[in-house]
Amino acid sequence: MSKSKIYKILGVLVLVTIIGGGIWYWQLPNRHKAIVKSFVFEKTGIVNPNWKVQNQSETYRMISPEFYIDGIYKSMEGPKSSKYVKLSRDSSLVWLTGFHVKALDSKSMQYISNDYICHTNVDFNDVNYYTSLHLQKRIGSQYPRMTSLSHGMESFNFPAGYGVPMKGNEYLYVTTQSLNHNLPDADQWIRHEVDIDYSQAKNLKPLMSRTAFIMLPFDKSNPYKSPLDPGTDQCIPVETKNHTYDDGKGNKLSGHWVIPAGKHTYRSPVNSQLQLTDSLRLHAAAIHVHPFATRISLVDKKTNKAIFSSKIVNHKNSTGLTSIEPFSSEEGIWLYKDHNYEIVLDVDNTTQKEQDMMGSMFLFFYDKELDDLLQQDK
């Protein structure tokens, strides 16, 4: 076979590969397109995948790699990056007291709109964490996410005198993801600045995290069929691969669903997530919702009263969350093991098309068992 013929065959193969790859890429959802682009940018050297880290004055600051915003990225679709971090080099106890994230222009490093922030998750290794604190029975009891910041609540602190304790040389796993609801023609490189506040004080009270979120039933045989009564606690999931759960009876539930136009209220029991084996005192809560949510409450069904409600303010002339009211209390509010609790979420979809929604709470309770163990170690 002549060289010219070989070159022609190779050229055709390359062309077919490029065309096939292009068709495959354009059929991907936004989330997976972002993953592919980020991978290519890193491998070709367009983006440095390394984080910039500063650790000073009891604030651990991280600046993410660059994220390229080139179109609309709704919640959980945008470019993201993850990093393992240690707050100190030794095993001395430190107390996590606050979490913060801001968006930066990647060139000027000046702060820009937080509309470019989707969420920042802080996870921990529950095996190492609970073993080091002599609480091995808690291993595997829930997903090991300590907390999450998200659009509308990009910063929160625990009430004075409280924190989450951990050994300083244990790893946290931080993931931060970008967002863009409003600029279809965007062409901007951004970064996220993530701060974790911590203290080495000796007299703080320990908090433990419990995650609770709305899960709504859907038809597992025909998941994208509209419910008979739209806007009720039946739902259409955004997708069935992620954020899909089983109620233990073979029924499917979704934590990420679509909402129709107009005002609606969703309710979901959360006792199984709270795991109340005894009375617990709630001191703080971080909230995660999507645009068009207007209020989220943790409700005691026995008294029919809200433990707390967070008012949510949406942007007036664009899609996005201006603010989410946090819950923080030095005194605390008691939750009881013989009461039933639910999350109630109010939404107002002011558009004429379906929107995606989530409703989650990261709840922080005083941890008496851990406090007793820490007192013994003094």
pLDDT, tens only, 76-122: 899 999 999 999 989 999 999 999 999 999 999 999 999 999 999 99
Contact 261, 349 (CB under 8 A): yes
Residue 153's Cβ-count burial label (10 Å; 0-12, 13-18, 19+) is buried
Count Cβ neighbours within 10 Å for each residue of 118-135 and write b for 16 or more, e otherwise. bbbbbbbbbeebbebbeb
Q: What is the mean pLDDT of the chain?
A: 90
Higher pLDDT, 107 or 227: 107
Q: In DSSP terms, which residues pair with 278 in a beta bridge?
A: none
Which two tokens mark 359?
């409703």
Strands 236-237 and 216-218, by their bridges, are: unpaired
This prediction's pTM:
0.87
Which residue is it, tokens 């929604």?
Answer: 357
The confidence score (pLDDT) of residue 57 equals 61
Whether 285 has a pLDDT exceeding 70, the answer reads yes
The CATH number corresponding to 210-373 among 2.40.128, 1.10.10, 2.60.120, 2.40.160 equals 2.60.120
Mean pLDDT computed over 150-171: 96
The confidence score (pLDDT) of residue 225 equals 82
The confidence score (pLDDT) of residue 202 equals 84
Whether 230 has a pLDDT exceeding 60, the answer reads no
The confidence score (pLDDT) of residue 226 equals 76
Question: In angstroms, rounded to a whole number, what is the distance separating the alpha carbons of residues 310 and 9?
Answer: 64
Tell me the per-residue pLDDT of 177-211, one tens digit each, with 9 for 90 and over: 999 999 999 999 999 999 999 999 888 999 999 99
Strands 162-167 and 205-213, by their bridges, are: parallel
Contact 357, 349 (CB under 8 A): no
Mean pLDDT computed over 287-301: 97
Going 91 to 97 to 98 to 99, the CA torsion angle's sign is positive
Higher pLDDT, 23 or 158: 158
- Which of the four pLDDT bands, split at 50, 70 and 90, describes residue 355? very high
Contact 94, 309 (CB under 8 A): no
Quickly name the fold that domain 47-203 has: Jelly Rolls (2.60.120)
Whether 29 has a pLDDT exceeding 90, the answer reads no
Mean pLDDT computed over 348-361: 95
Question: In angstroms, rounded to a whole number, what is the distance separating the alpha carbons of residues 134 and 129?
Answer: 9
